Chain A
Amino acid sequence: MAAHEEEEGGVAAGEAKSGVGTVAGPRQAPLAAPLVEYLLRLGDDRLILGHRMSEWTGHGPILEEDIATANIALDLIGQAAQLLKLAGEVEGKGRTEDTLAYFRDGVQFRNCLLVELPKGDFGDTMVRQFLFDAHSVLLWEALAGCGHAGIAGIAAKALKEDKYHLRHSSEWVVRLGDGTEESRARVQRSLDRLWKYTAELFAADEIDDAVAALGVRVDAAGLRARWDAMVNEVLARATLTRPAEGAAQRGGRRGRHTEHLGHLLATMQSVARAHPGATW
């Protein structure tokens, strides 16, 4: 199969006289304007995580928790709607938060991989939420004082919501870690599995540099140090072992996702895409 393709490719390449100039492309597709990319990252993280959390509605371990997880899902999707709306406005091509949520394909999504993983069991969900919340609270704290009024406004409101999420998720990590033998083993496994996806939360690139120039500046190293301290404190209370730093999984910021995202979007976008142009 591979050999056959190579042969055909070889013939085609041989015939192309101008050769290198036309076939050589950039390593990656060009990105949108930095601020748009940045807002899509923030918005997609929360849209996809909120969607995952909403999958618990009606299926939680106890009624009280059904209500709590629904609240978290609502906050996250609400934040996403604001961020994507702003992304569309900054982009200036007439895309709304709904166009962005429902009419982009997987490779156009900019969320980190951590948030798109299946919800797993309740421990997986709470550990993921905790790792994300700890980052999110610190990020909003930084952005609430940033030089972009739109982002600062969203950050100030989201900070209040996420502080509560963090309280909820960290208490659950402690309960499950320092609970029964079974729960401790389960939630340690969750932590071990999810750890390699956390590095992407901190990976700064040229988009971060570009928006910093626009006043949207976050001290990445300082944020990481504070996150480490928060996470260590909770893991210690939970009697859980912090996994060693190993090979990280990343790619979401450039549209290189896990296979899970496609299935999530196929479900999420199904109705909207079956009726393009319809109003709901």
Chain B
Amino acid sequence: MSSETSWPLWEVFTQGNAGEPFEHAGSLHATDAEHALQNARDVYARRGEAVNLWVVPSSAITASAPSDAGPFFEPGNDKAYRHPQFYKVPQGIRVF
């Protein structure tokens, strides 16, 4: 219909409170990083949802493939020795 080029797509990550991890909030279109930050502020933080923002060009994100799900993540499921509950502490010691 028109030959107009779209503005690039960006992914927006918001930090709800200082010290918390950044979470993916959604995406938007903007022409450059500063522009994306401004748009992210208006689109994803207008109700005070964020104290910090990250914007990342969507094209820069590499995602694991669904077919990777097994080999990538399942081997982590049965390594109980990575969790503190795996280890016994003599009774009466309370620092844990």
Q: Do chains A and B touch in the complex (CB under 8 A)?
A: yes
Interface residues of A (CB under 8 A from B): 62-64, 67-68, 71, 164, 167-168, 171, 175
Interface of A is mostly: helix
Q: Shortest Cβ distance from A165 into chain B, in angstroms?
A: 11
Q: Is the CB of A71 within 8 A of B38?
A: no
Partner of A171, one of B34, B43, B46: B34
- Is B29 a contact partner of A67 (Cβ separation < 8 A)? no
Complex contact A175–B31 (CB within 8 A) = yes
State in angstroms the CA–CA spacing of A184 and B42 once bound together: 26
B39 engages A68 (CB within 8 Å) = yes
Decide: B29 and A168 in contact? CB cutoff 8 A.
no
B72, chain A: closest CB distance, angstroms: 35
User: Complex: how many Å from CA A62 to CA B29?
Assistant: 9
Specify which of A64, A67, A71, A167 lies most central, judged by the most chain B CB atoms within 10 Å of its CB.
Answer: A64
Q: A167-B38, A171-B35 are in contact. Are A71 and B28 (CB under 8 A)?
A: no
Is A64's CB under 8 angstroms from B34's CB? no
Q: Which 7 A-B pairs have the closest CB atoms?
A: A64-B39, A68-B42, A67-B42, A71-B42, A67-B43, A64-B28, A168-B38
**Chain A residue with Cβ nearest B38:** A168
Which single residue of chain A is at the shortest CB-CB distance from B44?
A: A67
A71 to B29, alpha carbons, bound, how many Å? Answer: 18
